[in-house]
Amino acid sequence: MLAYWIPGGTRTLPANASHRIGIGVFVMNEKREVLVVQENTGRFRGTGVWKFPTGVVNEGGDLCTAAVREVKEETATKPQVIL
């Protein structure tokens, strides 16, 4: 939890406060085609909705690692990260 407390101030976050960082991954190939997927599980399963691969960053992880992992999990391919 990212929090800064003013010295002498009262901490008002509950003891069970937590967070998760969600990501969405935009993937484009050399032909400028964009990768979209349909969920096999989750709230959009069976709806016909197309979306970017999404997921969460593991605790202590970084955004690029999470992005590659989510694309690999949802497509069985490993993308090349270009920043």
- Give yes or no for a contact between 63 and 23, defined as CB atoms under 8 angstroms apart: yes
Q: Write down the pLDDT at residue 1.
A: 44
Domains of the chain, by residue range, sit at 21-75
State the catalytic residue, choosing from 33, 39, 73, 74: 73
String of DSSP letters for 34-69: BP-B--SSSTTTTS---B--EEEEPTT--HHHHHHH
pLDDT digits (tens, 9 = 90+) for 10-65: 666 667 767 778 999 999 989 999 999 998 887 888 899 999 999 999 888 888 89
Domain 21-75 listed as CATH 3.90.420.10 = no
Q: What is the band of 81 on the pLDDT scale with cuts at 50, 70, 90?
A: confident
Q: What is the band of 82 on the pLDDT scale with cuts at 50, 70, 90?
A: confident
Told to judge if 70 belongs to the known catalytic residues of this protein, a careful annotator would answer no
